Amino acid sequence: MNKLKIGIVQQRCTPDRKDNIEKSIGFIRKCAGEGAKLVILQELHSDIYFCQAEDIKMFDLAESFPGPVYNQFSSVARELGIVLVTSLFEKRAAGIYHNTAVVFEKDGKEAGRYRKMHIPEDPAYYEKFYFTQGDLGFTPVSTSLGKLGVLICWDQWFPESARLMAMAGAELLIYPTSIGYESTDAEDEKERQHNSWMLSLRGHAVANGLPVIAVNRVGHEEDWTGVTNGQDFWGTSFVTGPQGEIIWEAGQKEELYKVVEIDMARTEAVRRIWPFFRDRRIDAYDDLTKRYLD
Amino acid sequence: MNKLKIGIVQQRCTPDRKDNIEKSIGFIRKCAGEGAKLVILQELHSDIYFCQAEDIKMFDLAESFPGPVYNQFSSVARELGIVLVTSLFEKRAAGIYHNTAVVFEKDGKEAGRYRKMHIPEDPAYYEKFYFTQGDLGFTPVSTSLGKLGVLICWDQWFPESARLMAMAGAELLIYPTSIGYESTDAEDEKERQHNSWMLSLRGHAVANGLPVIAVNRVGHEEDWTGVTNGQDFWGTSFVTGPQGEIIWEAGQKEELYKVVEIDMARTEAVRRIWPFFRDRRIDAYDDLTKRYLD
């Protein structure tokens, strides 16, 4: 199967979870209706980006698997016969919560999950408060459509995670994300940050000769604690080929779904002309497991 | 010293070494005349890109250090009081040759050297024939201007080498390169390759919060064995800031020198908002020293 049709859902979220999920499912149906075999949702798509503030009550949004949200998306995958990449707030135990991507097979069963490994902590991105860092490693999820290298948002800045997924046989790199501007940032800084985000992800495509799919949240979300002016998530979900070339890119403001076709055969063609995996100096990489070399 | 003036020399080369070196030195003088404290030359700037074909005679171009070419550039650095990054063909012993960047201090003494670690081997880039892979690791060269993370051409595709240089304290990533189009490539493939090259290097800037400087060869060079139609080196030397933002970029055809000022204080500012080094999951990176995970 050389051509793969991938559905992407870029949406706004409100505090009304039921409404968010209905909207996701509506878009998923449209993707499947246009032939998508794989559909990808943005990070934490069922809720507002609750990490804008540290608020104990928000842990109520988490669920143990399988829980109601998990089951709802499992059913949709089965009903439509698609592979579905979701991003859920997992309650593993009291005091252990994860930012977890669950991948459902066409039959609705769980194909596998990835727990976010790199956890940010910045003003308005208080994820180290909410999420225990992942402990499942950088292992692709094997599905009927191939091995999916699912990573999540902050992971996007780390070439190491893309590389390890590729080395483990990932055929696609997939990033559900929730990234945006702080309202106080200057315009030129906003532009640099957005460009950096795309450069980083496109760079992973080049380094590993793999298509990359980023699915980002869109729209303004208020800070319910009133500390900041809220976040503007920058949308611009996009798909690249294995040379980092943009195949499709969404706008910064629109809520949308889109089905994009990827030619999976290009990976091998590109890796033949640029055989980076052949030439990695693995005898000289030991220090990559150090924090800093001082 | 927050502002650093860097001189870049992008030039054509012919089989006339004396002429190539005179041209380099002329441009270096101009850079110094405009206030450059650090000047960077392209990969193997004293000669044609002799790796276009496997030809035993080409080993005559190598020299043991210190040799005549080494001494000539050492003298220029001393005379002008600049730090100079050169790229030389090092004869280490009979049968052991390296692609080596030698960095000269303001007083003409060698500040340090880097031997190209990742060696390509593609049609018209027969470097595994000429060069023994480097054995000095990814160690920045300490100079009076700071620690220079000097890497060479094919290294540009490997996030690992940029990361290790950054972890060892490099304040700039510097890539002398000789990269171009094969004459038989289609136009769209040429464009993808050129974009990939910039994406990869700009991605290293983002991942490591460091400025990146790429200095590339320019112009057409014939294949003296008559097997191919020769190579068109694509110039477009460029400088980025620590978010991968382009500060300056050369054209694809012109021979030139340019002095570019970099604000070295931005590295810390960027790393404060994007503290990737804090969050690297070094407990989960062991497999980076493997070839592949199968």
Is A107 a member of any domain? Answer: yes
Looking at this predicted complex, what is its ipTM?
A: 0.97
Q: What is the mean pLDDT of residues B75-90?
A: 98
Residues of the domain holding A100: 3-289
Neighbour order of strands in the sheet with B141-143: B141-143, B146-150, B172-177, B212-216, B238-240, B246-249
CA-nearest residue of chain A to B291?
Answer: A282
| Mutation target among A199, A266, A272, A286 for the B interface, most CBs of B within 10 A | A199
Q: Identify whether the C-beta of residue B196 lies closer than 8 Å to the C-beta of residue B236.
A: no
Say whether B31 is catalytic.
no
**B49 occurs within a structural domain:** yes
What tokens appear for B226 in the block? 């008559």
B247 touches chain A (CB under 8 A): no
pLDDT beyond 80 at B172: yes
Q: Span B78-83, mean pLDDT? A: 98
B294 part of a folded domain: no
Residues 6+ apart with CB under 8 A from A214: A156, A175, A177, A201, A237, A238, A239
CB atoms within 10 A of CB A1: 9
Q: Which of the 8 DSSP states describes residue B13?
A: -
Instruction: Tell me the mean pLDDT in the region B12-33.
Output: 98
Domain harbouring A245, CATH code: 3.60.110.10
Work out the minimum CA distance from A110 to partner chain B, whole angstroms: 23
Q: What local confidence, expressed as pLDDT, does residue A185 receive?
A: 83
Residue B7 has pLDDT above 90, yes or no: yes
- Using one digit for the tens of pLDDT, what is the confidence trace for B105-130? 999 999 999 999 999 999 999 999 99
DSSP A262: E
Which residues, in sequence order, are bridge partners of residue A100? A88, A115
The reported pLDDT for the residue numbered B238 is 98
B60 Cβ partners below 8 Å, 6+ apart?
none
A42 in a domain, yes or no? yes
Residue B265 lies in a domain: yes
The answer to whether residue A294 sits within a structural domain is: no
Distance from CA of B75 to the nearest CA of A (A): 33
3-class DSSP state of A69: helix
Domain count, chain A: 1
User: The tokens of B159 are what?
Assistant: 């996030």
What local confidence, expressed as pLDDT, does residue A259 receive? 98
Q: How many CB pairs under 8 A join A and B?
A: 167
Residue B134 scores a pLDDT above 80: yes
Mean pLDDT of B169-181: 97
On the question of a cis peptide bond just before residue B66, with omega within 30 degrees of 0, the verdict is: yes
> Do you know the residue count of chain B?
294
Interface of B with A in 59-118 (CB under 8 A): 117-118
Helix (H) or strand (E) holding B77: helix B68-80
DSSP string, A215-279: EE-EEEE--TTSSS--EEEE---EEE-TTS-EEEE--SS--EEEEEEEETTHHHHHHHHS-HHHH
pLDDT of residue A1: 61
Are the beta carbons of B224 and B16 closer than 8 angstroms? Answer: no
Looking at residue A228, its pLDDT comes to 86
Vertex A31 angle, CA A28 and A32, to 5°: 90
In a domain, residue B243? The reply is yes
User: Does this model's pTM top 0.80?
Assistant: yes
DSSP B22: H
DSSP code of residue B41: P
Q: How far apart are CA A261 and CA A247, in angstroms?
A: 9
β-strand B96-104 against A146-150: which pairing, if any? unpaired
Round to whole Å and give the CA distance between A77 and A105.
7
Binned at pLDDT 50, 70 and 90, residue A262 comes out as very high
Q: End-to-end CA distance of chain B: give it in Å, rounded.
A: 49
Work out the average pLDDT over A68-73.
Answer: 98
Measured in degrees and rounded to the nearest 5, phi and psi for residue B284 equal -120, 15
Q: Is the pLDDT of residue B228 over 90?
A: no
Cβ neighbours of residue B23 closer than 8 Å, sequence gap 6 or more: B11, B255
pLDDT of amino acid B20: 98
Q: Is residue B212 part of a domain?
A: yes
Contact A214, A175 (CB under 8 A): yes
Q: What is the pLDDT of residues B37-79, one digit of tens each?
A: 999 999 999 999 999 999 999 999 999 999 999 999 999 999 9
